[in-house]
Amino acid sequence: MKRYDRLKDIQRLDPERDFLEIYRITATYEFPWDITRALELALYRTYAVPRIGRLLAETAQLTERAQKRYDDTALLLDAVVEHGFDSDPGRTAIRRINQMHRSYDISNDDMRYVLCTFVVTPKRWLDSYGWRRLCGHELRACAAYYRTLGAHMGIKDLPLTYEDFERTLDAYEREHFGWDEGARAVSDATLELMASWYPRPLAPVVRGASLALLDDSLLRAFRYERPGPVARGLTRGALRLRARAVRLLPPRTTPHYARQNPEIKSYPGGYEVSALGTFPTLGTGGCPVPHLRRPDTPAG
């Protein structure tokens, strides 16, 4: 098999009918490392919406149990990619995702925005740092995959095409990105988690490189100092150099799933999909996180 043979296979498939197969090839054969990094950045972006970042801070899942929260998210999403929507593991993973989300007061708009980050951020990452760009079939399949996931999650008014996902994301970020103290705490905890995956002396370098990858809208929302041109140039240049090297390598012969990533550390003895995530205890208002409400505002 040659470097671009799988791309040719993808282009022979129907992106609306075969979207799971196309997305699986893209995520587990063509770009497993890049997709992992891009989805990390996708979730990170959501913290800059104060309503989302504040809720994550109040649950303490990403400030006090960051590694487990990271692992559970990756493994639940991975189960659907590996086994499909109609499989027992896939259905169990989606059920767990829904049980957790429905325990909190989360608006449909916020849920839809988070879904949009999963579609748009990988494409933009690969445009900049991938060994090739996604083709039209892959973009259509990615939109169909996450449109299907969103439907299983009960999200309404889903975008239809990649371009729709992108427009929705950009508009939402322009309107909603902003400062929140809790969101900044979640951001700091996430950067510390990523730095913890490397030897301790490298932690400041990893944090600096992570900040160098953030766009200015994120830096402003979290009130981080803008990295200098040298830090940005070195970080982004290193990723582009890696892409050139990967392009010269032979293609993968076996798929690589998120559960195989060394960053997953919480379950050395294995795990059950049904036991992943949290099991919040609901309060009287229907949400385990207390909210201040006006007397005329119904509980969500």
Q: Nearest to residue 113, comparing CAs of 28, 34, 53?
A: 53
Report domain extents, the chain.
4-250
- For each of the chain's 300 residues, which pLDDT tens digit applies? 899 999 999 999 999 999 999 999 999 999 999 999 999 999 999 999 999 999 999 998 899 999 999 999 999 999 999 999 999 999 999 999 999 999 999 999 999 999 999 999 999 999 999 999 999 999 999 999 999 999 999 999 999 999 999 999 999 999 999 999 999 999 999 999 999 999 999 999 999 999 999 999 999 999 999 999 999 999 999 999 999 999 999 999 999 999 999 999 999 999 999 999 999 875 544 444 454 443 333 333
- Angle at CA of residue 249, ends 246 and 253, nearest 5°: 110
Q: What element of type H or E holds 53?
A: helix 50-59
- Angle at CA of residue 128, ends 9 and 10, nearest 5°: 10
- pTM for the full predicted model: 0.91
DSSP of 266-289: S-TT---GGG-S--PPP-TTSSSS
